[in-house]
Amino acid sequence: MTTVEYDALAALRSAGLAVDVLSSAHREVLAGLSPQEVGVLNDIKNRLDAVEPDVVGQEVKLL
């Protein structure tokens, strides 16, 4: 039986988080997140997106 390892970075990328602009140390931490922790980050991102104005100035949006 083959076990598929969870890819937290891929899950975060597919949710629209810009993990590739982070430092390698930060990516390493995020890569170790569980599916539940990724779910919490995605929920927070969705909440932030819901209150963000449609047009944002020259800022980098990481979450």
12-45 tens-digit pLDDT: 999 999 999 999 999 999 999 999 999 999 999 9
Cβ atoms of residues 19 and 27 within 8 Å: yes
> pLDDT value at position 60?
64
Sign of dihedral through CA atoms 34, 35, 40, 44? positive
> pLDDT value at position 48?
86
> pLDDT value at position 53?
72
pTM above 0.85, yes or no: no
Whether 6 has a pLDDT exceeding 80, the answer reads yes
Q: What is d(CA 15, CA 19) in angstroms, rounded to the nearest whole number?
A: 10
Pair of tokens at residue 54:
């449609």
